[in-house]
Every structure is written in C-alpha cells, then in structure tokens.
Amino acid sequence: MATVECRNIRKCYGELEVIRDFNLSIQDHEFVVFLGPSGCGKSTLLRMVAGLEDITGGDLLIGGARMNDRDPGDRGIAMVFQNYALYPHMTVRHNITFGLERTGVGKAEIERRLTPVVDALGLAIYLDRKPVELSGGQQQRVAIARAMIKTPEVFLFDEPLSNLDAKLRGHLRVEIARLHKTLKSTSIYVTHDQLEAMTLADRIVLMNQGRIEQMGTPEEIYSRPATLFAAGFIGTPNMNFMQFEVEGGALRDGLIHLPAPAGAQGQVTLGIRPGSVEVLPDAAEGSLPALVERDEFHGETRLVSLRCGTHSLMASVPAHMALQEGQELHIRLPEDKLHYFDTQTGQRLD
Amino acid sequence: MKPVTLILRGLLVLAALLVLLPLVWTLLNAFKTNADLLVSTPKLIFAPVWDNMDYVLGRRSVSRALMNSLVVCSYAVLLGAVLGVPAAYVIARIKNRATQEAQFFALSLRFLPPVAVAIPMMVIWLGLDMYDSRPALIITYMTITVSITIWLSVPAFERVPIAIEEAARVDRLGPYAVFFRIALPVAKLQVLSAIAFSFILVWNEFLLAMMLTTSRAKTLPIIASEMSQLGMSVPWGILNAAVVLLSLPPLILLALVGTGLNTAFSKKSSE
C-alpha cells in the first residue's frame, strides 16, 4: 500500500508539451479515476506513473520514494491494459504466475497465492487454456489476476473495459469495485467513460488538454462543476447551456429574467441539467412558455427538446407524461439548480 | 454448384497442373531407363529403375557437393539468423532514421545483380587466398541470408503487440528478456519461415557458387548442371535424378514451415 504523488510533472514530445505542471497527491487505499476525452493526456500520465513513458520534468513519488528513473518492474506497480496484453504463447496459469517467477518467488508460494486470485475471478476452469481460446471478458479477468497476484503497492488500469461490450463492461466494473473493496490497494484508473468514473472513483481527476480541469468526489463534480468543460463532460444527458449578456446585474432577454451572480460581467453562460428543468401543465409564478420540438422515449424517462424564446434546451420528464411535438407548455428553472459560468474563461461564477 | 464456380474451379485445377506436371514428369523421368525416356510419346506406365539415382549418389563429386551444400548453407543460414533476427527486432521496435536506412540497406543488397557481387568477391577471395573454400562461400552467402532474414522478420516483430512487451516490462523483464522470452516466441513461426526461406535461396543459388568455386567447394547446383555436359548425348535420366535430389531439402523445409511462410509474405495478421 502506498501513496502516489505527482509534483509539477511535465511531458513533452519534442517541442510539443502535452502535460504541464501536473500536481496530484493520491492517498493510501484511494481509488482515483483520471477522466477526460481522448487526447487529454490521461493515458500518458498513467504510463508515466507506470514507467512506460519518460517523465520530462517534475517528480513522481510512490510510497514517498522518487520513481522517475526506476524501471517499471521496480516501482511496485501492476498494470491492466486496454487490449489485455496477455502473453499469447503462454497458458492462462503461466500468464498469471510469470511475473512472480521473475521476482524469484518459490513454486510453493506461487501456488499458494494463485488459488485465491483464481477463485476471486472465477478462472479455475481456464487455467490450462491459451489466451486466444478465451473471450474478451475472460481475457481481461486473466489480466486483472496477473496484476492482483503481485500484490502491488499501486494498481494501474488503462481503460480496461473499453474493448468489451456494454453488458460485460457493467459486470466487470462491479467486479473491479468489489476487488478494490477487499484489496484496498491504491488504484489509478483511466477512462473516458463517465459512468465508470462515477461508479468506481473515490475521487475523479477530470482532465482536459493536459491539465486538471477539476478534482473531487463524483458528487462534488456533478453537483458543482468548476468549469464549463466539467459541466458539459459529466452527466447524461448533457447539461443545457444558454448564453446571456449581463445588464445591470441581471441576465435577461425578451423572456427570461434572472438575477446575475455577484461580480458577473460581460457574457455569462447559464447551465441547467435536463433533469432539473420543471415541466408544468399551466403557467405559474416564474414559469416560462416553451414549445415541444422533439420527444425521445428513453424507457424510464422521456427526453424532450424544448424551444424557449431564443434558447433551445432539453428536459427530462417521467415517461408517462405524454407530450406532443408542437405542444405548448410551461417550464420553470429552479434557482438552486442553476450553474453560472463566465463564457470567456469558462470558470464557475458563484 | 453454380456454373461460374465450376469454371473457376476448372481454372484452378488447370493452374495447379501447369505447376505440377513438369515436376511430376521430372520425378518420373528420374526412374526411367534411357529406352523409356527417348520415346516420342511420354510413358506413364514403365518399370522404374534405380540406376540413375545410384549413378548420381555413387559419384564422389555428388556426395562431396552435397556435403558442401549442407555445410555452406547451414552456416550461412545460422549466421544470417544470429545476426539478422536481432537486427530485425531493433528495426521493428526502434523507429528512427538510422534503423529505416538499415532496413532499406538490407533490402538493397538484393537489388544488386549477383554478377556485380560475384566479381569483386572473386577478387577479394583470391587476394585472401580463400578462393574455392567453404568459408568464402559462407560469408558471401551471408549477404543473402542476413538481408532476407531481416527483411522478412521485421513485419513479424511489428505484428507483436507493443502492449505485450510493456506488460512484460511491468513483470520485471529487461530488454533482452523481453526479446527472448516474449517477442521471439510470439513471432516464432514467421521468423522461422524467414530463416527457412533464406535457406532455400542459398540452397538454390547458382551464379555465385559457379564463380567462387572451381573444385573443392562446389555445391550441388553446380554439380547438377555439370551432369548435362557428361557426353555427346544428354543423360536425361541422370539429370532428372540430380534435380530430384536437389529439390528434396527445400521441399521438405517448405512442408514444415509452409503455413508460416505464407503469412510472412501476405500481410495478414496472425492469431
């Protein structure tokens, strides 16, 4: 078990700087997820922690010791790769035990450690097969077993579920969460899937263009996104954004009139999640008229596209609420569910 | 069966016969007497005789040439593999100007007409007093085996997923262990095919051997060609027997690594 600390970490490919001044401190036992769109640098960062990628500048500490120049095998890490990366010429058993053999662990000890790992992942019947004879989900279980048996200080996961189909992904996600509960190893998990991030993470590190956009628990990031990017990236369906000019301390256009947050100037972007938009049958105090443009049935809910003055927005309503395209109705935007951002800087405004 | 399929099948059979018939004919002729050979209608049914084979195998020049061929080709292929396979791995894994140039250089060795190699080589070996010796031929043949081994092994190593090697590094393997324990076993089949192919090339090599040997180091293809100059009339049976003998080692090798060789040439991914 160990802490992981990144101090002013930089990564350049030639002239191109892909990660600059990255600072992060991960606690013992913590499950941290690096979340972000592709190309944001999250995988590069993980590979630097693993030692598969050189660190251009800054310090990486695992368990308090500087790791920058150590080989991947000497960092006390284990890694699970996106495409499983099993050794195709070895049996499942050999795949799992190979790393231990290299570290000089005795045969009896390997056998003793193999059993619980294999049982935990349900691999007992596959031990003598070759990786090609297994499905993707089974292969990734073998890869997780290979990482687990080393009892590493830090687990690294590089998009481990993105090559699997949706159902299996959900299944294995639960399994990873369960394993983390029992093993309690410090874990870093890279994904672009916000659902994986929300369900697994103790803490999400939301990244964009090589920088940390926001860091916090899934609840914090969901309920108080720090930037426009965080607000737009987290949450399905996506948050609605509407642009306003601040005039005399208020946001207004012909229809909408809202108090502006303190100190807001120039352009302000107002955000509200589709689930927070209240749809009313009749006009009420503070309600706005809106027109139904499209109605999507999602099972439990319906996602309705609305036009409200010059703005268009989505509202998520219970599936039994029957709405027709072209129907006129009223909506209310509850003030405590509104998020204000400076349009220029993208920063949250309250 | 659809008529189109039938026609295509027929074409395939025709193509196969085009390749196979001369070989079968050669094989049959190796076991015929001259009386059976020199008839205007080729005989399919005849009493096979071992005379031609006996003659070929009984000649001292043939057995010496066979030894020469085996020794020269084996060493050339072995040394070619020892040098070429690691070189191919480096070219496949480290992409920079130097390795790109090295890869092209390896191929460019094969662009040269053999004669352009043979004449300078002849002068060099004469100067070193090694002309008509096995070592001279081995080193000359290495230019062929090294370049072919490199050229065909690079794609084999490129097909080894990089993530597997990274996983091995996390499993505490150093660069040499990654090569010997991971990359080489995974690419094994195609690398072996590359080596086998280089063997076939030097086994069949004629021009360099002819220009670099006169008596002691003569290889089998040279001896086989000499059989055609044995007398006034061409000894067809003996010639055919020599050809059959000459063709056997490459054919056996092909049978052993045939599938691998096929994937090495077509760029299909191998599972």
CATH number of the domain to which A302 belongs: 2.40.50.140
Name every chain A residue with its beta carbon within 8 A of the beta carbon of B168.
Answer: 87
Statement to judge: residues A201 and A336 lie in one domain: no
Task: Quote the domain boundaries for residue A155.
Answer: 4-226
pTM: 0.82
Same domain, A220 and A243: no
Question: Looking at residue A24, what is its pLDDT?
Answer: 95
Yes or no, beta carbons of A52 and B166 under 8 Å apart: yes
Contact A252, A232 (CB under 8 A): no
Positive or negative torsion for Cα B187, B188, B190, B192: positive
Give the domains, in start order, of chain B with CATH numbers.
Answer: 50-265 (1.10.3720.10)
Please give, rounded to a whole number of angstroms, the shortest distance from the CA of B93 to a CA of chain A.
14
The pLDDT tens digits along chain A (350 residues) read: 689 999 999 999 989 999 989 999 999 999 999 999 998 999 999 999 999 999 999 999 999 999 999 999 999 999 999 999 999 999 999 999 999 998 888 999 999 999 999 998 889 999 999 999 999 999 999 999 999 998 899 999 999 999 888 888 998 999 999 999 998 999 999 999 999 999 999 999 999 999 999 999 999 999 999 999 999 999 989 999 999 888 878 888 778 888 888 778 888 999 999 999 999 888 888 888 999 999 999 889 999 999 988 899 999 999 888 888 899 999 999 989 999 999 999 999 87
What's the CATH code of the domain at A79? 3.40.50.300
- Residues from chain B contacting residue A73 (CB–CB below 8 Å): 169-173
Residue A254 lies in a domain: yes
Q: What's the structural domain count of chain A?
A: 2
For residues A156 and A48, the answer to whether their CB atoms sit within 8 Å is no
C-alpha–C-alpha distance, residues A291 and A79, integer Å: 51
For residues A337 and B58, give the distance between their C-alpha atoms in angstroms, rounded to a whole number.
Answer: 100
pLDDT tens track for B129-182? 999 999 999 999 999 999 999 999 999 999 999 999 999 999 999 999 999 999
Indicate whether A177 and A290 sit together in one domain: no
Q: H-helix or E-strand containing B143?
A: helix B134-158
- What is the reported pLDDT for B259? 64
Residues A219 and A261 both lie in one domain: no
**Does A349 reside within a domain?**
no
Let me know whether A218 and A284 are in one domain: no
In a domain, A60, yes or no: yes
**Predicted pLDDT of residue B260:** 61
Q: CB–CB of A50 and B170 under 8 A?
A: yes
* Residue A263 and residue A196 in one domain: no
- How far apart (Å, rounded) are the C-alpha atoms in residues A154 and A146? 14
Q: Is the pLDDT of residue B269 over 50?
A: no
In degrees, rounded to 5, the angle at the alpha carbon of residue B207 between the alpha carbons of residues B203 and B211 is 115
User: Distance from A81 to chain B by nearest Cα, in Å?
Assistant: 7
Stretch among A187-196, B49-58, B72-81 having the lowest mean pLDDT? B49-58
Select the residue of B169, B185, B186 nearest A73 (Cβ to Cβ). Answer: B169
Q: Looking at A226, A248, A274, which one is the last position of a domain?
A: A226
Nearest chain B alpha carbon to A130: B271
Q: Are residues A199 and A272 in the same domain?
A: no
Which strands form A31-35's sheet, in the order they lie side by side?
A77-80, A154-158, A186-191, A31-35, A203-208, A211-216
Which alpha helices (DSSP H) does B30-59 contain, by range? 34-37, 51-58
* A198 shares its domain with A291: no
The stretch B43-47 carries a mean pLDDT of 79
Residue A88 to residue B173, Cβ atoms within 8 A: no
pLDDT of the residue at B263: 62
**Same-domain status, A61 and A181:** yes
User: Does residue A287 share a domain with residue A169?
Assistant: no
**Count of Cβ atoms closer than 10 Å to residue A36 Cβ:** 28
Chain B positions with Cβ closer than 8 Å to A:
161, 163-164, 166-174, 177, 182, 185-186, 188, 271
B166, A99: Cβ pair inside 8 Å?
A: no
What type of residue is A153?
E
Q: What does the alpha-carbon distance between residue B156 and residue B187 come to, in Å, rounded to a whole number?
A: 6
Q: Which tokens hold the place of B180? A: 């010997």
Q: Residue A85 and residue B169: Cβ atoms within 8 Å? A: no
Whether A117 and A137 share a structural domain: yes
CB within 8 Å: B172 and A78: no
CA distance B192 to chain A (A): 16
Q: How many CB atoms lie under 10 A from the CB of residue A333? A: 21
- Residue A348 lies inside a defined structural domain of this protein: no
Cβ contact, residue pair B172, A51, below 8 Å: no
Distance between CA B152 and CA B81 in Å, rounded? 11
CB contact under 8 A, B167 and A85: yes
Domain assignment present for A31: yes
Q: Which has the higher per-residue pLDDT, A350 or B217?
A: B217
Residue A213 to residues A48, A234, A344, A345, Cα–Cα distance (Å): 19, 12, 16, 12
